[in-house]
């Protein structure tokens, strides 16, 4: 039997919280407090003893309230965070979009950012040139493709970023609330692109507060609360069925 494409065992991820912001002047004036904070760090546990496995081709929805650890979990899977307790095994090429414009340089043009992000994902410059027309067509930013990224709207950044990460055909796709940005046409384009990747065996992690997006794109749901897994199962088992409109419902 093929090994899971992702295996996570007893994963715990903590962040240090500083009581105050210390500049040079604050260190001098509050030296005793500064030393105390260094010796007695306050820790925030973002993920607490997380364990699960994912088979190749599964479509996972991550749900839970704000601050429950969803983005942190994706960041660990994607290799953004290297320091943690437990073990994480990822057997596949990962593409991730965790924030609008993440990994893109605001001073570079859209075209230059396509090349940059593709190279960072392991593609050659020549390969990205071959994918350029497809990405530009998906992004639909018109003449802005040669304008610096800081002139882009949030929707334009989302389309460009999503076009890049999906064009390189990842084995594991990590998406954080991207479908919440943009209009209905953009959502349809994203869902069509995701469907094509899934048909080729791509594994999906989708973070969304929109339960309809989870129902439509996922077959399994992991729900987090306070950094712990509180539910893991089929969509129908974890997410309540969408209520049907009754008589007199507008």
- Chain-centroid distance of CA 146 in Å reads 26
Which residues sit opposite 17 in a β-bridge? 42
To the question of pTM greater than 0.85 for the whole model, the response is no
Which residues sit opposite 109 in a β-bridge? 148
Instruction: Specify the pLDDT at position 249.
Output: 42
pLDDT average per 10 residues of sequence, the chain (250 residues): 92 80 58 66 89 96 93 92 92 81 83 90 90 92 92 87 87 82 76 88 91 90 96 92 54
Which residues sit opposite 45 in a β-bridge? 14
CB 56 within 8 A of CB 66: no
CB 60 within 8 A of CB 218: yes
Give the residue extent of every domain in the chain: 6-238
Instruction: Specify the pLDDT at position 244.
Output: 61
Which conformational region is residue 222 in: left (phi greater than 0), alpha (psi within -120 to 50 degrees), or beta?
A: beta
Q: What is the CATH number of domain 6-238?
A: 3.40.50.300
Instruction: Specify the pLDDT at position 193.
Output: 87
Instruction: Specify the pLDDT at position 131.
Output: 93
């Amino acid at each position: 039997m093929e090994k899971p494409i992702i295996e996570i065992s007893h994963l715990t991820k903590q962040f240090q919280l500083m009581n105050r912001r210390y500049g040079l002047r604050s260190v001098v004036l509050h030296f005793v407090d500064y030393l105390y904070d260094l010796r007695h760090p306050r820790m925030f546990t973002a993920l607490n003893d997380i364990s699960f496995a994912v088979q190749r081709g599964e479509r996972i929805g991550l749900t839970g309230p704000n601050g429950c650890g969803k983005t942190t979990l994706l960041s660990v899977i994607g290799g953004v965070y290297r320091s943690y307790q437990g073990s994480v095994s990822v057997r596949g090429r990962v593409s991730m979009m965790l924030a609008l414009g993440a990994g893109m340089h605001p001073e570079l043009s859209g075209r230059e950012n396509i090349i940059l992000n593709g190279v960072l994902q392991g593609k050659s410059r020549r390969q990205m040139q071959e994918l350029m027309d497809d990405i530009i067509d998906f992004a639909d930013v018109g003449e802005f493709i040669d304008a610096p990224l800081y002139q882009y709207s949030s929707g334009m950044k989302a389309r460009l970023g999503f076009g890049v990460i999906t064009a390189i055909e990842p084995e594991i796709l990590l998406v954080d609330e991207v479908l919440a940005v943009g209009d209905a046409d953009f959502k349809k384009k994203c869902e069509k692109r995701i469907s094509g990747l899934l048909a080729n065996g791509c594994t999906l992690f989708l973070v969304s507060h929109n339960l309809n997006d989870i129902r439509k794109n996922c077959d399994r749901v992991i729900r987090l609360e306070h950094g712990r897994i509180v539910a893991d199962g089929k969509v129908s088992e974890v997410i309540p069925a969408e209520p049907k409109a009754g008589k007199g419902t507008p």
